[in-house]
Structure 1
């Protein structure tokens, strides 16, 4: 019973909940693996000096694979287990990385990126599900939001590898970083063997004794008879029974009353997280800074790395205070700030820029020349944009969808919401390079407008869910109408603390009595 994992590791909820986040870091590795080579002569020579449209297609290959990977999660995770699918995502990433590292033409590179994208899509959907089912409710929000932090670390670490390898002449300057990105995936797949399977999945597959053992290791110090473990065991058993009798059997269940509205909210938030314009500042930051007048490959790499450091650092306060600040304030303030900074970038480029060339390239770009003040202002606004995303939208976009759905549809709903993220990621990754090449600074105005539209949508339709239990979230959506989320304060749906404590004590004593009789 409970074999195949380390009980010592399982007794530490933060290790259990955070290790799987390495899967999120794979997405960050991919972002830097592309953004760091866009102005690499060896990369351009090897792949035929791709045009803006071709480069967009190469970058978009990864989110295209991720879209299908996210949709596969529900079926794979329910059949083979949460833990095993996390392990699978790591090995798929290794295969994709090998193909990219060995690529000799665009076709092979795109194939490798599609396979890597499949791994990222699977990991990005399964990791929040695994975390929500394996960790205690008191730390669930914090640990799920660490998914975003792991993405930022992936971006940062891979970018510094790219920076170091930029001093190498020849194809090794991009093949070495693409090969090294296999290491985290190998660590993930091997390390997950030491971690437990989801107790809920085990219970759903008639492996109740293993589920009880894992619950005891996770939340009872190995003691199966502690009241908390017995209560959790009874709750999961009740949920599994309900799911089998009345729960979701297909994706059509997501259209049922009371569920469809939340599916729309989850998909919308993942969509808005892409439409904020973060893709521009992550995938194509080199293009942004070149347009601002920052020339020289290594100087550009240094400026980019500062942005990625800020992305990592500013995500930390959001993780720590996400439950205290609340989801709505973070989203509303973040969208306003991001829209403001993008409008400033577009305005500065429109006022001081012109069509020209960068570093002797024959391809015309919108660029600022001989205006150091405007160049510095655009770089600062870009940094502030990334900081605004990191401390608001970034963590919340992963946390909110994982906590608004009932357990019976959570795997399918989170899968669909994550797939919407990758669908828009794919579209924007392909569209941004041609956009910068054809409408230049106006691209920033478009994404700035998206942020303001997101603010309006969130204000009217996204209720607060911070520090709410599943039952309280159900009350919120039962009481609040579609366009009145702004009227729902933090007390709506909240049960009295003494009432909750008495109810919990009653349930524990009742369950213990039943166990003694049995």
Structure 2
């Protein structure tokens, strides 16, 4: 059967693995599309100065749609394929953007955000699955981490678009940025037409020759007899055969012994990602800095932009070293640091703040203490840096490599749906929380981080550098609460019979050594 993609593009696993990350960028675009307009006079006047509960509902409508989209992937990714699911997400995003940019009232804005959220939910589940199944294990963590980096780039670029448009008078200041969001979705949907489908999905559909050729293009420079290609092909075929004889593909598979534990880990990691408090600092950073005593809309927007730049920059070390450092050390260090910074923010605001009025709102704020204001802003920056280099990328990488293929699409989408369920609840919760319990909100999220740190230490085994098939051996070792005892050598396969590494080029040798 003729290939439906460009061999020249498909020959580079980095290009294949990173282009789909535009789907993650859609999530980032949405985050800053709201954060930058929260204190915009034009936005507030046009939509009737929405109170905290209404504003929370507007922001929360996107993760509500994303929750439904993530669950839809359980059927879409298996039925139409990983690639087609990503293309579909871009098409749905266009509809959501059109409705948002043409919004006449709050109801129409919420409808547009719900539809856009549906697209984000599909993309955020399908992209990590696609990446994990199409990239070699030596670089899988790096490429799946690009999902988080693309989210951060989406946040940053959209924020600066909004910042520039804030100088425009009238409702064009927020309609233009909401309309511009369509451009990445068009690029994503059209561009994915030229990329290959997941070889694992093709193999499961008895399209073995297509799967072999894609593996050859990606990992063997077109040579289907390349040792790495033959090894991966044999692993995938064996796994597909095994899974076909051990139960049908259904939701009941998620509750079978050996699987239900992994489903719990994937869901809980996405839950902890939201409960870390990162979306407080992303969606509502304007409110955070306003409460810290940073006065003036322009000064607030500039301070916010620094945070978004740091978010992008600090994800780079994780992308480069996530496979070397491992998932567990990053998660343990990240959750501990995030809890520490949030307790400092809450403590500083509690010690130096008081109830005051900003415009028509009554908020807890720090006034007349420049040192406390600067300290809170710096702690907020350090919190975001800690998330960007640890929990941010790992929360997407880890769930994508936990599951066998017969349940992978359903399990990853369920984990991602958990992210959106908690994202929806927290997006709605934060504005009323800041209005009522003020600085105590930070203590709540800080506590969540410390609990997450303990959970990771006891329950999350290391999966870095293993093939998706080798992960099976990891979960055959130990029980639910002995993850720290599992060696990083568990699951490694003996490749002594495979072509020696010195006969291969540097990239291929590195790939085989990672699998050895």
Deviates more, 1:362-371 or 1:109-118: 362-371
Q: Where do residues 152-191 of structure 1 align in structure 2 (5 Å cutoff)? A: 152-191=152-191
Partners of 1:286 and 1:304 within 8 A in 2: yes
Q: Where do residues 453-464 of structure 1 align in structure 2 (5 Å cutoff)? A: 453-464=451-462
SS of aligned partner of 2:495 = helix
**Residue equivalent to 1:478:** 476
Pick from 356, 381, 388 the counterpart of residue 383 of structure 1. Answer: 381
Partners of 2:24 and 2:150 within 8 A in 1: yes
Query: Does 2:499 align with 1:501?
Result: no
SS of aligned partner of 1:364 = strand
**Residue equivalent to 2:284:** 284
Closer/same/farther in 2, CA of residues 410 and 339 from structure 1, 3 Å limit: same
The Cα shift of 1:242 comes to 2.8
Q: Where do residues 129-278 of structure 1 align in structure 2 (5 Å cutoff)? A: 129-278=129-278
Aligned mates of 2:197, 2:433 — CA distance in 1: 45
**Residue equivalent to 2:443:** 445
Deviates more, 1:458-467 or 1:92-101: 458-467
Aligned mates of 2:446, 2:224 — CA distance in 1: 54
The Cα shift of 1:47 comes to 1.0
Aligned mates of 2:312, 2:279 — CA distance in 1: 16
Query: Does 2:432 align with 1:434?
Result: yes
Closer/same/farther in 2, CA of residues 221 and 487 from structure 1, 3 Å limit: closer
**Residue equivalent to 2:64:** 64
The Cα shift of 1:503 comes to 4.9
Closer/same/farther in 2, CA of residues 471 and 228 from structure 1, 3 Å limit: closer
Closer/same/farther in 2, CA of residues 168 and 267 from structure 1, 3 Å limit: same
Aligned mates of 1:215, 1:152 — CA distance in 2: 30
**Residue equivalent to 2:343:** 343
SS of aligned partner of 1:501 = coil
Aligned mates of 1:279, 1:398 — CA distance in 2: 16
The Cα shift of 1:169 comes to 0.8
Gaps (5+ residues) in structure 2? 501-516
CA displacement 1:304-336 (0-9 Å, x = unmatched) = 000000000000001111111111111111111
Query: Does 2:16 align with 1:22?
Result: no
Query: Does 2:35 align with 1:35?
Result: yes
CA displacement 1:82-114 (0-9 Å, x = unmatched) = 111111100100100000000010110000000
- Give me the TM-score of the superposition, normalised by structure 1: 0.94
**Residue equivalent to 1:294:** 294
Aligned mates of 2:228, 2:220 — CA distance in 1: 7
**Residue equivalent to 1:393:** 391
- Give me the TM-score of the superposition, normalised by structure 2: 0.94
The Cα shift of 1:210 comes to 2.3
Partners of 2:227 and 2:499 within 8 A in 1: no
Gaps (5+ residues) in structure 1? 507-518
Pick from 462, 467, 470 the counterpart of residue 469 of structure 1. Answer: 467
Partners of 1:2 and 1:196 within 8 A in 2: no
The Cα shift of 1:488 comes to 2.6
Aligned mates of 1:505, 1:128 — CA distance in 2: 31
The Cα shift of 1:235 comes to 3.0
Closer/same/farther in 2, CA of residues 474 and 234 from structure 1, 3 Å limit: closer
Partners of 1:2 and 1:213 within 8 A in 2: no
Partners of 1:248 and 1:409 within 8 A in 2: no
Q: CA RMSD in A?
A: 1.5
Count of residue pairs brought into register by the alignment:
500
Aligned mates of 1:461, 1:240 — CA distance in 2: 28
Aligned mates of 1:503, 1:416 — CA distance in 2: 39
Partners of 2:103 and 2:109 within 8 A in 1: yes
The Cα shift of 1:354 comes to 0.9
**Residue equivalent to 2:118:** 118
Aligned mates of 1:432, 1:108 — CA distance in 2: 23
The Cα shift of 1:471 comes to 4.7
